[in-house]
């Protein structure tokens, strides 16, 4: 066994210690045909001189993939683990035409693995792709480098294959980038934050010309039920009669369910200790474990499903309207576009319809005529975050399927049926709450706790962190921001009506706080404020006064910061340090102090607004990302929020990411996590990938149990209730298989059974010695 960590392998050591193993497998070695650029089949061990090993163990073995293959064992102790191949001379693909990086892989273990490949070009730019590989699976994979419409945004996070091959396409991970791969300078094959021991065997690495593209690869890709039209899979519906039969069978099962005997009225642990009951949810540390406490005083863990609503079920049809009135946005709106409802009366505007995007229009086998009974499921999006259509007509196949499934005895009665069935499902599956973005129609229910949500939007001033994924940050010292926060809190208060079934309130989501490193990113908000004029930025004005109070003399600040400011006036007018490569220790300490002040002001303003209008309810924070949040913001949130919230897409709660919770020592809730698979037709399964539905369910159990076992985490919410539209949600093109139900509103059986299994033992696992 050859063990390496962050160093280049010595060839003589490899030759001396390489071990050859025979792995039994019924599948014969795959022939490698049409090779254009051979990277390695590992028959010549000189390739090992070009491999950097990062936190992994590697060895050369004999396998069914080839006479010599590379075995990689990944680490569970490091953020990244794997290999990077860096040739002395870059691989040139310029003459290959459309091409892809291809390789064969075997997972020899009994654990699934999520494998990522990153390829770097001559400019140092990288694109990533990821795939889930089942235990003991042998397959071929490809990473498309140049191809037909490869870099064209069609309003889908990823698209179906454009050519025929027996290999599996690796879906895009992260953003889809337009990169020149005529020269390949590095190929990295790795895993991220593994919490189970995983390994792969790889062989026959090559860059190969791909077959001719099917230029109609998106034509009629979606059928009348919103399903993938060109492939078969379990649960695929072929008729309205079949859809109704699924509904009748499920309703009979749900109606026979008698409830969970160990649960309190609100879903708390009825058989556990009973603490002070306040009539509302609260949080308390109980024997070194943080816990939510339900209104009756029982220990409570919030296992929930987020986004149970219609808003994100719509997809662009390729049609737009010439009628400008449909695009009007009220400046006093408190709800962002992607959270708006999709139905409305567009009959007049539809008279001005025209094809704005022909290819999107051709994606659908069927869309209703405007006089069709299902035409009420058309809507309009006034703006999109990403995609080829800045605005346009949308259609919700999911909502249309609800009408097909349940019928319509009165206007929109199918939504009432959906409401009742969803509540029965949540209870039957063992969940104890809805998550964020719950449809307000659930706010008055008395069967399932929920979390309310809101956004602070408006015409207040903003700042940039330099990494503004969803938008810029508010200028928190702008009085308009405080005013808008109160308006949002008032709207939420009016919606929930002080219901004890509301666990707490999330405000905002995945804000651009910067990141843990480097400094220009971590302190981007402060550096942006410093570059502005105090007259234009209220936050900058506050920062200048803080620095004046601390240093008094500008020369003292210059000495500490290693700068040459002529006066406080120059600082007030704006100084730009965003491109600086080095910072003095005193400057870093000061910008950290300023960032803390900014973050504390944000959470103070929002918390005050929540408590003013909803004094009995918890403020749950703004759902941080783990990759885009400066640590100062964590502690600011702890100071003002009742619970600190994070969205975390990983395979579980790993110590590499969440080890800091011990020092933070605050109750934490996971606002989003999910796992997706590609076996039901979604070209991009999700952020975390499984090989199939069974593995997806197993990975769900593993993640949720890791959250239950963590003494700081008081809940975890799966994202989301419904699969994304196959052709991409209108907001940004997400087309993930991450629902508990399909686009035809049929539950995934493996996921349902997994949920019941975890939830049956959830409280014993968390609060007794029987856990883990």
- The domains of the chain are located at 2-209, 316-417
Which of 73, 54, 70, 78 lies closest to 194 in space, CA to CA? 78
**What pLDDT does 273 receive?**
95
Q: How far is CA 377 from CA 228, 317, 380, 384, 393, in A?
A: 20, 12, 10, 19, 11
**What pLDDT does 35 receive?**
57
**What pLDDT does 769 receive?**
64
With a CB cutoff of 8 Å and minimum separation 6, the contacts of 473 are 462, 463, 464, 465, 511, 512, 513, 525
Cα–Cα distance between 53 and 56 in angstroms, integer?
6
**What pLDDT does 10 receive?**
41
Which of 232, 234, 222 lies closest to 401 in space, CA to CA? 222
Q: State pTM to two decimals.
A: 0.93
**320, 391 Cβ separation under 8 angstroms:** yes
Cα–Cα distance between 40 and 50 in angstroms, integer?
11
Strand partners, 99: 146, 209
Give residue 286's Cα distance to chain centre: 31
Cα–Cα distance between 394 and 309 in angstroms, integer?
16
Mark 175-191 as b/e (b = at least 16 C-beta within 10 Å). ebeebebbebbbbbbbb
Residue ranges with strand state E in 326-434: 353-355, 378-381, 392-395, 433-434
Mark 670-692 as b/e (b = at least 16 C-beta within 10 Å). bbbbbbbbbbbbbbbbbbbbbbb
In the DSSP assignment, the letter for residue 338 is: G
16 φ/ψ angles, rounded to the nearest 5 degrees: -75, -35
Q: What kind and span of H or E run contains 609?
A: helix 585-613
Residue 234: Cβ within 10 Å count: 13
**What pLDDT does 265 receive?**
97
**622, 511 Cβ separation under 8 angstroms:** yes
Residue 292: Cβ within 10 Å count: 28
CATH of domain 2-209: 2.60.120.430
With a CB cutoff of 8 Å and minimum separation 6, the contacts of 689 are 114, 130, 131, 132, 171, 675, 676, 677, 678
With a CB cutoff of 8 Å and minimum separation 6, the contacts of 10 are none
Q: What is the DSSP string of 295-334?
A: TTSBEE-EEEEE--SSGGG-EE-SEEES-GGGG---TT--
Q: What kind and span of H or E run contains 674?
A: none
Cα–Cα distance between 20 and 61 in angstroms, integer?
4
Q: Return averaged pLDDT per consecutive 10 residues of the chain, 772 residues in all.
A: 39 36 36 68 92 97 95 96 96 95 97 97 96 97 96 92 96 90 97 95 97 96 97 96 95 95 97 97 96 98 97 96 93 84 87 96 97 95 93 97 95 95 98 96 96 95 90 96 98 97 97 90 96 98 98 98 97 96 96 98 98 98 94 97 98 96 98 97 96 98 98 98 97 96 98 98 88 48
Cα–Cα distance between 451 and 436 in angstroms, integer?
6
């Amino acid at each position: 066994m050859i063990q390496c960590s962050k160093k280049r392998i010595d060839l003589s050591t490899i030759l001396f210690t390489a071990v050859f193993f025979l792995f039994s497998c019924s599948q014969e070695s795959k022939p490698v045909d049409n090779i254009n650029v051979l990277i390695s089949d590992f028959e010549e061990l000189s390739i090992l001189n070009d491999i950097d090993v990062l936190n992994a163990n590697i060895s050369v073995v004999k396998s069914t993939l080839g006479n010599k293959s590379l075995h990689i064992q990944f680490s569970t102790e490091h953020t990244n683990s794997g290999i990077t191949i860096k040739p002395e001379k870059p691989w040139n693909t310029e003459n290959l035409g459309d091409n892809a990086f291809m390789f064969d892989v075997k997972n020899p273990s009994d654990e699934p693995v999520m494998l990522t490949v990153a390829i770097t070009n001559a400019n140092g730019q990288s694109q990533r792709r990821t795939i889930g590989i089942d235990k003991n699976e042998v397959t071929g994979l490809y990473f498309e480098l140049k191809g037909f419409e490869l870099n064209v945004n069609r309003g889908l996070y990823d698209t179906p294959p454009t050519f025929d091959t027996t290999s599996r396409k690796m879906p895009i991970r992260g953003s889809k980038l337009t990169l020149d791969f005529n020269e390949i300078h590095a190929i990295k094959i790795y895993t991220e934050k593994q919490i189970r021991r995983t390994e792969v065997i790889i062989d026959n690495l090559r860059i190969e010309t791909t077959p001719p593209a099917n230029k109609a690869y998106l034509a009629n890709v979606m059928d009348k039920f919103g399903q993938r039209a060109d492939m078969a899979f379990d649960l695929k519906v072929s008729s309205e009669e079949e859809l109704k039969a699924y509904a009748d069978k499920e309703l009979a099962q749900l109606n026979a369910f008698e409830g969970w005997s160990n649960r309190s009225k609100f879903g708390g642990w009825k058989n556990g200790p009973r603490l002070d009951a306040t009539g509302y949810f609260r949080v308390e540390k109980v024997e070194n474990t943080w816990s939510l406490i339900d209104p009756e005083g029982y220990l409570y863990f919030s296992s929930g499903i987020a986004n149970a609503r219609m808003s994100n079920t719509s997809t662009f049809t390729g049609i737009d309207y010439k009628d400008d009135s449909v695009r009007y946005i009220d400046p006093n709106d408190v709800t962002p576009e992607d959270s708006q409802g999709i139905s409305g009366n567009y009959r007049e505007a539809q008279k001005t319809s025209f094809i704005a995007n022909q290819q999107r229009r051709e994606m659908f086998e069927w869309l209703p005529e405007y006089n069709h009974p299902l035409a009420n499921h058309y809507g309009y999006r006034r703006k999109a975050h990403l995609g080829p259509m800045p605005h346009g007509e949308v259609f919700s196949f999911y909502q249309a399927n609800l009408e097909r499934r349940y019928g319509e005895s009165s206007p929109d009665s199918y939504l009432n049926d959906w409401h009742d069935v969803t509540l029965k499902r949540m209870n039957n599956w063992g969940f104890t709450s809805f998550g964020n973005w719950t449809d307000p129609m659930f706010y008055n229910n008395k069967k399932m706790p929920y979390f309310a949500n809101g956004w602070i939007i408006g015409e207040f001033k903003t700042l940039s962190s330099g990494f503004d994924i969803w938008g810029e940050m508010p200028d928190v010292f702008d009085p308009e921001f405080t005013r808008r926060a109160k308006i949002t809190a008032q709207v939420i208060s009016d919606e929930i009506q002080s219901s004890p079934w509301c666990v707490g309130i999330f405000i905002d989501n995945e804000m651009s706080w910067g990141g843990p490193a480097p400094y220009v990113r971590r302190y981007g908000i402060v550096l942006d404020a410093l570059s502005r004029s105090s007259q234009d930025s209220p936050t900058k004005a506050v920062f200048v006064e803080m620095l004046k109070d601390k240093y008094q003399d500008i020369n003292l600040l210059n000495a500490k910061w290693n700068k040459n400011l002529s006066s406080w006036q120059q600082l007030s007018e704006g100084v730009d340090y965003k491109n600086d490569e080095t910072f003095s220790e005193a400057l870093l300490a000061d910008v950290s102090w300023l960032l803390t002040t900014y973050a504390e002001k944000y959470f103070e303003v929002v918390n005050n607004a929540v408590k003013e209008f909803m004094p009995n309810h918890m403020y749950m924070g703004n759902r941080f990302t783990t990759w885009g949040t400066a640590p100062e913001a964590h502690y600011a949130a702890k100071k003002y929020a009742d619970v600190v919230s994070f969205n975390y897409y990983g395979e579980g709660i790993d110590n590499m990411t969440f080890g800091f919770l011990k020092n933070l020592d605050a109750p934490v809730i996971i606002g989003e996590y999910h796992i997706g698979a590609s076996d039901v037709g979604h070209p991009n399964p999700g952020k975390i990938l499984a090989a199939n539905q069974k593995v997806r369910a197993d990975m769900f159990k593993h993640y949720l149990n890791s959250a239950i076992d963590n003494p700081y985490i008081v809940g975890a919410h799966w994202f989301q209730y419904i699969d994304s539209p196959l052709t991409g949600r209108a907001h940004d093109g997400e087309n993930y298989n991450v629902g508990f139900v399909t686009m035809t509103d049929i539950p995934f059986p493996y996921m349902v059974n997994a949920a019941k299994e975890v939830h049956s033992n959830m409280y014993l696992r968390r609060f007794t010695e029987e856990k883990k």
